[in-house]
Each structure stands twice: as structure tokens, then as C-alpha cells.
Amino acid sequence: MGLRMRSQIIGTGAYAPKQVLTNGDLEQMVETSDAWIVERTGIRERRKAAPGEACSDLGVQASQQALSSAKIQASDLDLIVLATCTGDSPLPSTASLIQYRIGADRAAAFDISAACCGFLFALSVADAFIRSGQYRYVLVVGAEIMSVVTDWTDRNTCVLFGDGAGAVVVGPTEGDRGVLSIHLHADGQLSDLICVPGGGSSIPASESMLADRLQYVKMRGNETFKIAVKTMEEAVREALAAENLSVQDIDFLLPHQANIRILKAVAQRLSLPFHKVIMNLDRFGNTSAASIPLALDEAVRAGQILPGSLIVLAAFGSGLTWASGVVRW
């Protein structure tokens, strides 16, 4: 192992369920309109898992694509880290189910819960294991079935979320490309901004919990918007400063796909031209931990991201959590 060992993304994969749920479909379900949803969020459609299609099903598909793209076998993997807040069940970890189904018989596996920041938190774990020399190949997956925690009677939140999965294979490199740094933050004082209150040990499943609809995402939208813009801008600036880079050095900003108004506000505050922001939320909505790897896979396969591209990743989410990273592709 050389002195400058770092991790590099060597393969990407993604999967989205077949069913498309358009704004027109939502107009039939709640009092809303396509024009309002597009103006407020930038989302035109999102994907919805089929009945019986679980988080692990999406994760397996994305993982197999990422392995194929990385040109390694599942048996080469040392570790699988899954970021999700909508796992198949409380026990066991959904990462263990993916590990078995893809045939990664040597790999350890666990889940990480950091909501929309989950992928960056998971990538940082992979990066640390590889930098330390303990592991060689790590599969990082972000997979979500947000439709199961979405209250389809709440017009403020049901327009936002979608289902999907993205995955990357991370391996060692001694070159100057790869994951340069990742920065993670949390502030539990703001835990009630975005939360699913019921279903855990605090408010266990019960008839009254279900009657109060506490198994669904609750969000304080206006406050979340302000804090999202502030934390994402700060996170991007922190990541750049750590690498002695400036906004002008960014080839692409790949943010968590939450809302077009948040992304535009962040770009504006950074004085970053909006064409440098990678975005697919118009087609997938907010897929939580899946959003960054899903958009990354698309951008790589479309030839948008090229070798040498400098990419800044940024996210915020429930926790409250926020995070950023710099990757030289």
C-alpha cells in the first residue's frame, strides 16, 4: 500500500421501478396541479415500486449493474454498505439480503441510516476502510422505497418522493483521481424538521399510531427549505476549501435531488452556472439516499462526466444531516 492510497469509484449502477407516477396522476389523488408541482419542486414524474417490490429488490438490480460496470465479481467484495431509511424490515439489515442475493459470500454487510445524506455517509465509510488498507473493494448502495412512508393524502409531501436505487463499487488507487475528501455533519436539535415519528421503539406500531398516520414522513417545509439552502452552500464551500479549490474549479455539482428551488438557490449563492448542476429530479423526484448515485450513474453513462471531471457532491436530510464530498473522476 502506497502512502497516497485513496478510494476511487470504479463502477456505477442504478435501477428505478417501472411504474411512472406523473403529476397528472397526483391531480387525481390530492388537490394539486401539475403547474403548481413543477413551479414549487421542478418534479414532473417519479417512480413507484410495484406491490411486493422491496428495497432489497431495487438494491440488487443497481448492485449488479455497478459490479458489471466495475468489471469485478461479487465474490471480490469485502464489504457492502447500504444507505436506506426504508429497508425491507427492522431486522435483519437489508444489506445482508443484498449480500446473499448477489453472491458476495466474502463480504461483511450493514445498513446506514442518514436519510437523504445516506449515500455520502456510506461512501465515507467505504473511503475510510479503503484508505486504511483494511478492505479493497466496497459496494456502496443507496436504495429507497419512499412510497411506503409517503402519506398519499398529504399534498405537501406526496408530490416530492420517488422510489429508486443507485450503487457504486469503490476500490483503491494511488493516482490523483478518486475521492479527495468527504465531510459529514449532524444536528439532532433539528430532528423534527423531517421525520417518520411512528414504527420504532418511541411510538411502536399500534392501531392508534396508524390512525394518527405516524408511519408517514412529516416535514416542516418552509424551515427545511431555508436550512437546506444554507447547509448545502456551507458544505460545498467546506469541501472546496479542504482541497484548496474554488467554485470556478467545479466541473459538476451533483446535489441531493430534493427540489429545484433549493438547487437553484444553492447555485446562485455559490455563483455557479446552473448548467453545471447535474439534475434528474424532474423524472425521479426525491429518492432520498438513492438520489445521488442514481443521478451519478445517469451522468456517467450519458458521457456527461468524463475522466478528470471535478465533481462536488452535496446533500442534506433528516437528522438533521448534511454532507459534501469532492471526487476527481
The CATH code of the domain that includes 35 is: 3.40.47.10
- The reported pLDDT for the residue numbered 4 is 74
Residue located via cell numbers 422505497: 145
Residue 30 to residue 106: CA distance in whole angstroms: 48
Answer for the pair 108, 79: CB distance below 8 angstroms, yes or no. Answer: yes
SS3 of residue 60 by DSSP: helix
Both 26 and 154 in one domain: the answer is: yes
Residue 63 exposed, middle or buried by CB count within 10 Å (0-12, 13-18, 19+): buried
User: Of 23, 256, 259, 280, which is the active-site residue?
Assistant: 256
Q: What is the mean pLDDT of each run of 10 residues along the chain (329 residues)?
A: 79 98 97 97 98 98 98 98 98 98 98 98 98 98 98 96 98 95 98 97 97 96 94 98 98 97 98 98 98 98 97 98 98
Domain membership flag for residue 1: no
Alpha helix locations (H) across 110-220?
Answer: 118-132, 207-211
Write down which residue in 150, 175, 200 finishes a domain.
Answer: 175
Both 131 and 64 in one domain: the answer is: yes
CA–centroid distance for 99 within its chain: 19
Question: Catalytic residue at 85?
Answer: no
Domain count, the chain: 2
Both 158 and 256 in one domain: the answer is: no
Residue 193 sits in which domain range? Answer: 180-328
Both 170 and 231 in one domain: the answer is: no
Output the pTM of the full model. Answer: 0.97
CA neighbor of 168 nearest in space, from 313, 25, 35: 313
33-41 long-range contacts, Cβ below 8 Å, gap at least 24?
37/159, 40/159, 40/259, 40/261, 41/159, 41/160, 41/259, 41/260, 41/261, 41/281, 41/285
Both 31 and 125 in one domain: the answer is: yes
The strand order across the sheet containing 163-173 reads 6-15, 163-173, 138-145, 79-83, 108-112
CA–centroid distance for 278 within its chain: 14
Residue 73 to residue 318: CA distance in whole angstroms: 34
- Those residues whose C-beta lies under 8 Å from the C-beta of residue 142, and which sit 6 or more positions away, are 82, 83, 84, 118, 119, 122, 165, 166, 167, 287, 288, 289, 290, 291, 292, 293, 294
CA neighbor of 62 nearest in space, from 85, 94, 20, 21: 94
Both 136 and 27 in one domain: the answer is: yes
CA neighbor of 166 nearest in space, from 122, 124, 113, 196: 122
Write down which residue in 122, 147, 175 finishes a domain.
Answer: 175
CA–centroid distance for 5 within its chain: 25
Both 169 and 251 in one domain: the answer is: no
What amino acid is encoded at 104 in this protein? A
User: Of 23, 259, 280, 286, which is the active-site residue?
Assistant: 286
- The reported pLDDT for the residue numbered 221 is 86
Both 223 and 296 in one domain: the answer is: yes
Both 134 and 20 in one domain: the answer is: yes
Write down which residue in 131, 153, 175 finishes a domain.
Answer: 175
Both 96 and 195 in one domain: the answer is: no
User: Of 116, 158, 183, 259, which is the active-site residue?
Assistant: 116
Give backbone dihedrals phi and psi of 27, rounded to 5 degrees, phi first.
-60, -30
Both 237 and 194 in one domain: the answer is: yes
Question: Catalytic residue at 286?
Answer: yes
Gyration radius (Cα) of the chain, Å = 19
Both 131 and 186 in one domain: the answer is: no
